[in-house]
Structures are given as C-alpha cells and as structure tokens.
Amino acid sequence: MSFQDTEVLIVGAGQAGVAMSEHLGQNGVPHVVLERDRIAERWRTARWDSLVANGPAWHDRFPGMEFNTDPDAFATKEQVADYFVAYAEKIAAPIHCGVEVTSVRKNIGRPGFHAETSEGTINARYVVAATGPFQQPVIPAIVPDDAGIHQIHSNSYRNPDQLPEGATLVVGAGSSGVQIADEIRESGRKVYLSVGPHDRPPRSYRGRDFVWWLGVLNKWEAAAPPQGAEHVTISVSGANGGRTVDFRDLAADGISLVGRTASYDNGIMRFAPDLSDNIANGDANYWSLLDEADAYIERNGLDLPEEPEARILGPEPECVSDPILELDLAGAGVTSIVWATGFSVDYGWLQVDAFNESGKPKHQRGVSVEPGVYFLGLPWQSRRGSSFIWGVWHDAKYLVDHIMIQRGYAHYESSAAARSAPARQLSGAAVSGS
Ligand SMILES: Cc1cc2nc3c(=O)[nH]c(=O)nc-3n(C[C@H](O)[C@H](O)[C@H](O)COP(=O)(O)OP(=O)(O)OC[C@H]3O[C@@H](n4cnc5c(N)ncnc54)[C@H](O)[C@@H]3O)c2cc1C
C-alpha cells in the first residue's frame, strides 16, 4: 500500500479519528486516517465481554447519526464499535486500517512532518494524535509478579471464567472496577472491592438519566476538575439496564468493601483506613446532584415526578464501619487480582517537542505547543466530556477551526507578491513528497 502525501494526517481511527475526519471533510481539507487495527478497535478487544455504554444511546453518540437501537438503552460494546464503522462509511472517511504509525518527525527546513508507518512514509502539513485517552494500562507496583497471584488489568479482563478458581480482589471502584466486581460476584465467587475516592451520581433522578442532569447543569462542560478532585473517578453503570452504583447494595450482595489498596508484604495486603471517608464523599457527591437537580426543576417550573425515595440511603454496612485493614490473601482464598486502576499515555511514536517531563502532552484545548501538532480525545482536553463520545466531536470541531485559521496564515502573501504571482487556491495545499 502506498499513500498520497496529504495535508492532515490523523493517527488512530477510534471515535476521535472519525470525528476529526468528519470536520476536515466538511471543510474540504485533504486528510488521511491511519489505524493500526480496525476502526474503534478498543471497543471490540480492549474491554470486557459484557460491557455496555455508560450512557444511553440517545446521548452517547455523535450529532450526525443515531444508534440503531432503543434510544434509552445502553449500547453493547460491539454496537458502539459498529456505530463508528457505520459512521465512517457514512462520511466516507479516508481511513486505512492495519497501518501503524511508528514515528512522526518534523521536516527540516520546510513546513510539515514526515511519518514512518508499517506501510511506508507519508508527509503531512498537520498531524493529529487521536490515539486515545486510555492507551497503556497502569498497575501500581504493589504486588510482585512472583507472588503467586494471578494479576490482570481491567483492560485484559473479559469475563469471570478467565480467572483461576477462588476469591478475587478488584482494585479500583470507578465504573470499570464496580461493574467487574459485580459480575465476578454474580458468577458465584467471593469478591473484595478496594474503594478509593469516587463520584457516584444517581443513574437517574426524577425521570431523567444523570447524563441529562450533567448536561443541563453544565457539568459536562466543566473546564477542569474541581481543585483536589483531579483523580476522582466516576462510578456509573449501564449494566442490567442501568442502576445507581451504591456501595451499600454491593456490600448487601456479599462483596466485601475495603479501603484504598496501600501495600503488600509477604502475602498480606494492607488497605488504607479511608473506606468510610471515601463512601461518605461519594454520598456527598450523590446528594449534591439531587439538590442541584431539585433546584433546577424548581427554577424552571418543570413538571418532573417527585422521587423522595432517592434520598433514603441505607445504613453503613459492617464492612465499612469495621473495615478490613489487612488481608491474608491466601488465608482468604484470594487467587486473583483485577487492577481497575486506570491508564497512561504513550506517545513514543510522536517524536516532537510537545511533552512534559512525564510524557504528557503540552497543549491548550488540544493545540500542541509544537505548531502543526494536535491532540484529540484527551481526558479534560477542553471539558469534562472531552474523552467521551459526545465531547470528542466538539473538540474535533475546535481543532479543525484552528487548522483552518492556520491554513489562512500559511497561504498569506503580501499584496505586492500576490499581484506578481498567479492566483492560488487556499485549499488543496497538500504537502508534496520529500
Ligand atoms: C471501559 C471503558 C468504558 C467506556 N465507556 C464509555 C461510554 O460508555 N461512553 C463514552 O462516551 N465513553 C466511554 N469510554 C471513554 C471513551 O469513549 C473510550 O475510551 C474511547 O475508546 C476513546 O476513543 P478515542 O478515539 O479517543 O481512542 P481509542 O478508542 O483508544 O482509539 C485510538 C485508536 O488509535 C489506534 N492507534 C494507537 N496508536 C496508533 C499508532 N501508532 N498508529 C496507528 N493507530 C494507532 C488504536 O488502535 C485505536 O484504535 C469508556 C472507556 C473505557 C476504558
């Protein structure tokens, strides 16, 4: 396969790459999308079997196309992947699958970049890194590999059958950890769930899903996480038709809640004494959304049903009031650990000066400090919604606006020079081969 050099090279064809292609196409900007696997691959093979979207189908989508399902249902991961394949077809996105970009470097003495790929070299004036918010699984260095415990990241968890017999410790109580813990518990195993700081909005309140509440209350648009809450995960689930995550219910079902996983020594796992605080802070987040929703309903005179029962939370479970601080894993029959502990990024292929000392992109709303390089799909890139399906579409629009402005500058000529040169089109300015 050989490529035409192009004006914009997009690396990655998940939702971010598809959104970027749509906006570039609408503006008539020549571009190419290179994807090492398949369109929306991570939805197919980097997630567990039973995963459904966290938001209902009417919300977790691009503006230009609806899901082929009940709008209030939660699309399965395969339906999400199929949606992006269909979307790419609809917009005739110039996506080349099975092509890995191995390096991108600046051209010397002329604008643009050249990329080495598994299928040859391609030149482009602009490069968009759309390689995902969740690239490299992160497992904290707590339990040594030779501890005799089967350890996997949530990224490689598929279903309970892949785990050895015995009890499981799930570390992390964001959306992934909670759903995985519940599924393993349902399969008949004993489960310990290590709960750190989290937000836990109600699944729905007074007849509206939480995605609607976060929308009308402008919370998806928040530009930065609240001070001190940068690493607070959000616990929501669309599983089983969508239910509020309440750790009391998980405990009542038989899951033993423990605090943040702190250390491991000689078969003994230790947990921070923060479980009760973490649950209380999650509850406070829950209450605050109910309060803001009530105030919004009153302010706007909406006719939405009262839901007083949403304000009734059960008593603190015993595992919270008298928490386990140390667990002899073998004694408790724990044979596996699922680390639902998040991800980091790896931009090793993007060899430009656009990263801080920890390898994170230096950018403003996705516009890199390296002119011509853009990032798309980063967590909190411009707002809370940035790494989610509906948010990335708006960030893509912003980046394409920025590219259009830069194209204008790139094609500026002084009026005297313009008079003496034949007129040129502003568009169609693909960088020529090296
Ligand atoms: C468990 C889980 C559940 C989620 N549920 C939801 C949800 O319900 N709703 C929602 O809105 N969001 C959800 N998200 C968040 C977000 O929507 C997804 O993470 C989504 O996959 C991000 O899309 P993306 O296009 O930014 O990145 P990705 O989907 O990660 O796509 C990046 C693509 O780049 C490719 N790539 C990487 N490096 C290269 C290279 N060097 N050369 C070529 N190709 C490359 C990869 O193969 C990949 O296909 C969820 C995330 C997780 C982890």
Q: Looking at the structure, do residues 302 and 257 belong to the same domain, yes or no?
A: yes
Q: Percent of the chain scored above 90 by pLDDT?
A: 91
Does 432 fall in a domain? no
Kindly report the average pLDDT of the chain as a whole number. Answer: 94
Residue nearest to atom 22 of ligand 1 (CA): 132
Average pLDDT, stretch 27-44? 98
Please give the Cα distance from 15 to 392 (Å, whole number): 8
User: Which atom, in ligand 1's list, is nearest to the CA of 102?
Assistant: 41
Global confidence as pTM: 0.94
Does 192 fall in a domain? yes
Q: Looking at the structure, do residues 287 and 222 belong to the same domain, yes or no?
A: yes
43 C-alpha vs ligand 1 centroid, how far in Å?
A: 7
Residue nearest to atom 25 of ligand 1 (CA): 14
Look up residue 387 and give its DSSP letter. G
Does 193 fall in a domain? yes
Is 79 strand, coil or helix? helix
The pLDDT of residue 4 is 83
The pLDDT of residue 359 is 93
Average pLDDT, stretch 46-53? 97
Domain stop point among 339, 365, 391: 339
Q: Looking at the structure, do residues 111 and 189 belong to the same domain, yes or no?
A: no
Q: Looking at the structure, do residues 141 and 114 belong to the same domain, yes or no?
A: no
Does the pLDDT at position 430 exceed 60?
no
User: Which atom, in ligand 1's list, is nearest to the CA of 39?
Assistant: 49
Does 397 fall in a domain? yes
Residue nearest to atom 12 of ligand 1 (CA): 388
Number of domains in the chain: 2
Q: Which pLDDT band holds residue 226 (cuts at 50, 70, 90)?
A: confident
Does 430 fall in a domain? no
Does 431 fall in a domain? no
Domain stop point among 275, 309, 339: 339
Using most ligand atoms within 8 A of CB, pick from 388, 390, 394 the residue to mutate for ligand 1.
Answer: 388
Predicted confidence (pLDDT) per residue in 305-352, tens digit = 999 999 999 999 999 999 999 999 999 999 999 999 999 999 999 999
Does the pLDDT at position 105 exceed 50?
yes
Does 433 fall in a domain? no
Q: Looking at the structure, do residues 158 and 250 belong to the same domain, yes or no?
A: yes
Q: Are the CB atoms for 151 and 143 separated by under 8 Å? A: yes
Q: Looking at the structure, do residues 204 and 221 belong to the same domain, yes or no?
A: yes
**Those residues with Cβ within 8 angstroms of residue 143's Cβ, 6 or more apart along the chain or in another chain:** 149, 151, 264, 269, 337
Residue nearest to atom 37 of ligand 1 (CA): 131
Does 1 fall in a domain? no
Q: Looking at the structure, do residues 279 and 362 belong to the same domain, yes or no?
A: no
Is 80 strand, coil or helix? helix
Does the pLDDT at position 427 exceed 90?
no
The pLDDT of residue 2 is 58
**Segment among 18-32, 87-101, 103-117, 215-229 with least mean pLDDT:** 215-229
> Residue 76 sits in a domain of what CATH number?
3.50.50.60
Please give the Cα distance from 302 to 304 (Å, whole number): 6
Residue nearest to atom 14 of ligand 1 (CA): 388
Domain stop point among 289, 309, 339: 339
What range defines the domain where residue 124 resides? 6-135+345-417
241 C-alpha vs ligand 1 centroid, how far in Å?
A: 23
Ligand 1, residues at Cβ distance < 6 Å: 11-17, 34-37, 41-43, 47, 51, 53-55, 60, 100-101, 130-134, 176, 349, 377, 387-389, 392
Q: Looking at the structure, do residues 222 and 355 belong to the same domain, yes or no?
A: no
**Those residues with Cβ within 8 angstroms of residue 108's Cβ, 6 or more apart along the chain or in another chain:** none
Using most ligand atoms within 8 A of CB, pick from 35, 62, 153 the residue to mutate for ligand 1.
Answer: 35
Does the pLDDT at position 203 exceed 70?
yes
Using most ligand atoms within 8 A of CB, pick from 9, 10, 15, 79 the residue to mutate for ligand 1.
Answer: 15
Average pLDDT, stretch 361-373? 97
Q: Looking at the structure, do residues 255 and 403 belong to the same domain, yes or no?
A: no
Q: Looking at the structure, do residues 144 and 237 belong to the same domain, yes or no?
A: yes
CA distances from 259 to 57, 198, 230, 338 (A): 34, 12, 19, 15
Q: Looking at the structure, do residues 312 and 349 belong to the same domain, yes or no?
A: no
Does the pLDDT at position 418 exceed 70?
no
Q: Looking at the structure, do residues 165 and 212 belong to the same domain, yes or no?
A: yes
Please give the Cα distance from 126 to 365 (Å, whole number): 16
**Those residues with Cβ within 8 angstroms of residue 182's Cβ, 6 or more apart along the chain or in another chain:** 237, 239, 250, 253, 255
